[in-house]
Structure 1
């Protein structure tokens, strides 16, 4: 149903759909889908599925006083801000251009310092639509040689220093990140661990990119842009219009069908806003752990600083 999100650039300043117009739009769309699925090409002039669905939706939008309607995965229409038709790869390339000036004011962290982060978390459960929010503050040792204080879902965790044979991946030490390639093709090869493109290897590459950009870390110049450009070369990446807002900003997502992560970008500026993940709650039933409620979790980095001690903000 992703093709239904391609109708853009209608006047979103108009009033919302009336109940009558909304019902008419839904009926017209469902009729088009039913006719196409039964192979009734006579009524559509032999149009292919994508054009049938786009035409049906365009007619529904026109009937609804110029309001853009997007049919989400659960079939519920809602209004959305206009977004020019671009590919997922193009969104990532524009995000790369935008990121070249990001975090320029952050100093190069010393190994003995800390990353201070403030992260806003929104967790929405699929059943019932219940939403929970947290603002988590954490202080993570740059090289892992010192204890760290991490807040997760409002709960504080005291993490010991890394063990002798423990390492972080991707690294957080700046000198290690400087060794990473900033050529997108070479970086993509590293994300794939030198393996050829395949569904499994591409999912792993997408995951590696998510881990690098998730932070907290200070990336050398051009590395973040190179990461977005490298991921733009992956086959099967797709746009996701499910996300309406992130920290008050209209967002569009870029995801991979085999991964649980979605990159979120501002729809107008292509600023990188954060990540959305899909997870589930576990409950013990008859002695066995079972997944009982799935949710979407959106994390937005509100602040990152390089500080000298736990408790310091600037």
Structure 2
């Protein structure tokens, strides 16, 4: 069964659509002459967020593993209190130095597939200006390649994200209004044969603010604080205590609940001390049936867990 196809079809009900990340993953992975794969990457030390990048990867196949089940009797925290604490913590950080356009963002993540628990360890290098990506193919050959621009795409390079972030308001109410109406995230990506999904303003604001927390550009501390404060103003945004990522680390599970019964829940798992994003993880709360068959069992996990990252001077280097 095609995990990515099924997940893409489920995006309308996912709590964090993330710019139709899974649909774009399938499209880019099969597009000739473009990038090899797509994944979120971990923030640089001192940088508050990461973005989704498209790169070649090295893959380490592991046997299927039993993923952690949702917490029984999960404890919900006061989201306004937690997010205000996060805002106060991050706004005290010093702004990290801006990388040069010709430097490279190194990323290492653990990816978990929901159908069988298959895991892959993925490494990638992306130029800060987004013009090139690099990595090892499944045969272990290291390659670097150009990333031609795509006018219909909604991806931004780390450098372009930085430019966009610097223009955002740091007042939480103004930030919410801006992201809810940002035409970039409404109009793009432009994909032939793919119908546009209509989002309500609160859903769009949550998606975009969550995306900003999982991108690579240097995040201004005051803006990151505003993001957490803006998230606290969005209805049905919740914080769950001691949510474990696919490696077993416990964190704060940020999610937006759906109206009615939930089939799955998508978390951004935050480090409880630094409030940096540790993982983007979906957990199935009950068996998922597709075409009369059980596609995903209760407790199945789809995850990207960020293991390492940093800025290096050339592809192939590790910080």
- TM class by shorter chain equals 0.5 to 0.7
Query: By how many angstroms is 1:120 displaced?
Result: 2.8
- The equivalent of 2:125 in structure 1 is 139
- The equivalent of 1:118 in structure 2 is 108
CA 1:107/1:118 → structure 2, altered by over 3 Å: closer, same or farther?
A: farther
CA contact (8 A) 1:149 1:159 kept: yes
Query: By how many angstroms is 1:221 displaced?
Result: 2.8
Q: Encode CA deviations 1:170-210: one digit per residue, 9 max, x unaligned.
A: 55213342222222222211221169xx9821111111112
Listed as ranges, the gaps of 5+ residues in structure 1 are 1-71, 280-284
Distance 1:230 1:152 in 2: 40
CA 1:77/1:229 → structure 2, altered by over 3 Å: closer, same or farther?
A: closer
- The equivalent of 2:270 in structure 1 is 265
Query: By how many angstroms is 1:234 displaced?
Result: 0.4
- The equivalent of 1:311 in structure 2 is 316
Query: By how many angstroms is 1:232 displaced?
Result: 1.2
- The equivalent of 1:216 in structure 2 is 216
Select 1:93's aligned residue among 84, 88, 97.
84
CA contact (8 A) 2:77 2:240 kept: no
Q: Normalised by the size of structure 2, how large is the TM-score? A: 0.55
Distance 1:88 1:276 in 2: 19
Are positions 1:149 and 2:134 aligned together?
Answer: yes
Q: Encode CA deviations 1:210-246: one digit per residue, 9 max, x unaligned.
A: 2111123321232222212111110111234583356
Are positions 1:185 and 2:188 aligned together?
Answer: no
Query: By how many angstroms is 1:94 displaced?
Result: 2.0
- RMSD value, Cα: 4.0
- The equivalent of 1:301 in structure 2 is 306
CA 1:211/1:234 → structure 2, altered by over 3 Å: closer, same or farther?
A: same
Q: Please list, as runs of the form range in 1=range in 2, the aligned pairs for 1:2-21 lying within 5 A after superposition.
A: none
Query: By how many angstroms is 1:311 displaced?
Result: 0.9
Q: Which has the higher contact order (CA 8 A, sep 6+)?
A: 2
Q: Normalized per residue, which structure has more helix?
A: 1
Distance 1:133 1:101 in 2: 36
Distance 1:97 1:226 in 2: 10
CA contact (8 A) 2:180 2:205 kept: yes
Structure showing greater radius of gyration is: 1
- The equivalent of 2:63 in structure 1 is none
CA 1:264/1:152 → structure 2, altered by over 3 Å: closer, same or farther?
A: farther
CA 1:170/1:124 → structure 2, altered by over 3 Å: closer, same or farther?
A: same
Listed as ranges, the gaps of 5+ residues in structure 2 are 1-68, 184-197, 259-263, 285-289
Distance 1:213 1:99 in 2: 12
Select 2:149's aligned residue among 152, 159, 163.
163
SS of corresponding position for 1:243: strand
